[in-house]
Amino acid sequence: MSTCQSRVGLPIGSIGRLFCLLWLAGVAMRMTLLVVPSIIPLVHEALHLSETQIGLLIGLPLAVFAVAAVPGSLLIARIGTRRAVIIGMIIAALAGGGRGAAIDVWTLYAASLATGFGIAIMQPAMPTLVRAWMPNRIALGTIAYSNGMVIGAILPPTLTSPLILPLVGGSWRLDFALWTLPAILIALMFLILSPESREHGRNSHRGAAAGASAWWPDWKNPLIWLLGLTFGSNNSPFFAANAFLGDYVASKGQASLLGPALSALNGAQIVALIVLLLTANRLQGRAWPFLLFGPAMLAGFLGLIFVPTALSIIVCAGLIGISTALTMTATLALPALLVAPGDVPRTAAGMFTVSYTCAIVIPTICGALWDLTGQPWTTFVPLCICSVSLTVLGTLAVRYRPAGDMAAG
């Protein structure tokens, strides 16, 4: 074997190229979606939206993530993983830019739904690409695209106000259009540089026969529910913390903390990425991320409830951010680790369907508790429960073995 070859038989340069492509795909999965929060005041004023309509604008893509994950698995089975990812990128980019042409709330909703659909196609495809491209380095491949997801979530909020809006004269419509350009560029780079998935190699004849039926999740398989509830216990606290942290600090008379607290919540995920890269070899199929960072997330929410001082709020928000990032990557790696290659898309689709349903229901419960009790701290109670369930379910998922595997052993 050449000295330029890695342990898995791929040249080091090829591994670097695949890592970068997976990273770019992760950026595309979040960048277009997270353009919205930074320009909500402008859209609110221009289209005369109510607060409920704004809530729907944020929540609709999450609903599509849940509903469209299974159709995304079908598309993967029909046309292949790589092509599905490219189609998803193009749909998300064009629909994301199309939001700038909205003439009323309904056309804005339609474009937002289409954006969410494009991203929903990509999500079950990513674990499949990782399994196909880097079968012996699944943790590293998962870190690549989850890293991209974090950076894609950070870029629009960070750059829109200081750079993009001044560049386009404060136009929210042109802001949407401008963010389409890097999204299209990523799709073109992926089209030109990405290899065909190995799913079309030696198993292609068997795959052609089984492809039509291998897209529907096996809802009787407990692993799908275990993975879905584990990921739901991860992403629900992240979305809910972003949604309620502002009103919570305002209720404590510390509205000026919103910026620092949100920066800590989301910026801490960059620290998590460094930790992930340093521990990649010790991440794959291990329980320690859940055993360590599930309780850390719980400590963060308890700190917000019981010690709502300025310093504590910022520290706790950062603790929640790093905990969600580390356990997200650990969870996203599991479908490719625990099931056969042909079952990865439909297992991932089932996981995303369950998890994003949780991400809609649980934050709604959080808000309802606040409304019903009039006590702001109650909004974090369901998230404390999520932290505990993340610890328990994540540990069980890592150690899960199908009955056939145990019998064979």
Q: Which of the two residues, 14 and 348, has the higher pLDDT score? A: 348
| CA 159 – CA 247 distance, rounded (Å) | 24
On whether both 229 and 173 belong to a single domain, the answer is no
Percentage with pLDDT > 70 across the chain: 89
Arithmetic mean of pLDDT, 332-359:
89
Lowest mean pLDDT among 31-45, 48-62, 204-218, 240-254: 204-218
On whether both 255 and 299 belong to a single domain, the answer is yes
Arithmetic mean of pLDDT, 237-253:
84
User: What is the pTM (predicted TM-score) of this model?
Assistant: 0.76
- Specify whether the CB–CB gap between 254 and 310 falls below 8 A: yes
| Residue 3 domain flag | no
On whether both 261 and 390 belong to a single domain, the answer is yes
On whether both 45 and 126 belong to a single domain, the answer is yes
| CA 224 – CA 67 distance, rounded (Å) | 15
On whether both 52 and 133 belong to a single domain, the answer is yes
Q: How many domains does the chain have?
A: 2
CATH number at residue 129: 1.20.1250.20
| Residue 5 domain flag | no
| Residue 51 domain flag | yes
On whether both 235 and 373 belong to a single domain, the answer is yes
| CA 281 – CA 137 distance, rounded (Å) | 8
| Residue 210 domain flag | no
| CA 46 – CA 38 distance, rounded (Å) | 15
Arithmetic mean of pLDDT, 290-303:
97
Residue 5's beta-bridge partner residues? 11
> Which conformational region is residue 169 in: left (phi greater than 0), alpha (psi within -120 to 50 degrees), or beta?
left
DSSP per residue over 166-217, as a string? Answer: HHTTT-HHHHHHHHHHHHHHHHHHHHHHPPPPGGGSTTHHHHHHHTTTTTS-
DSSP per residue over 242-278, as a string? Answer: HHHHHHHHHHTT-GGGHHHHHHHHHHHHHHHHHHHHH
On whether both 341 and 395 belong to a single domain, the answer is yes
Lowest mean pLDDT among 121-125, 258-262, 396-400: 258-262
| Residue 206 domain flag | no
On whether both 276 and 170 belong to a single domain, the answer is no
| Residue 257 domain flag | yes
pLDDT at 407 over 90: no
From 129, 160, 195, give the residue that closes a domain: 195
| Residue 334 domain flag | yes
On whether both 278 and 137 belong to a single domain, the answer is no
- Specify whether the CB–CB gap between 231 and 351 falls below 8 A: yes
Residues 6+ apart with CB under 8 A from 83: none
| CA 226 – CA 400 distance, rounded (Å) | 9
pLDDT at 147 over 90: no
Q: Give exposure, 167-188, as e/b (b: 16+ Cβ within 10 Å).
A: ebeebbbbbbbbbbebbbebbe
On whether both 256 and 155 belong to a single domain, the answer is no
Residue 130's beta-bridge partner residues? none
Confidence at residue 208, expressed as pLDDT on a 0 to 100 scale? 40
> For residue 288, what pLDDT band results from cuts at 50, 70 and 90?
very high
The range of the structural domain enclosing residue 319 comes to: 217-402
Lowest mean pLDDT among 80-89, 150-159, 177-186: 150-159
Residue 284 parent element (H or E): none
> For residue 198, what pLDDT band results from cuts at 50, 70 and 90?
low
| Residue 338 domain flag | yes
Confidence at residue 101, expressed as pLDDT on a 0 to 100 scale? 95
On whether both 112 and 234 belong to a single domain, the answer is no
| CA 189 – CA 149 distance, rounded (Å) | 17
On whether both 310 and 249 belong to a single domain, the answer is yes
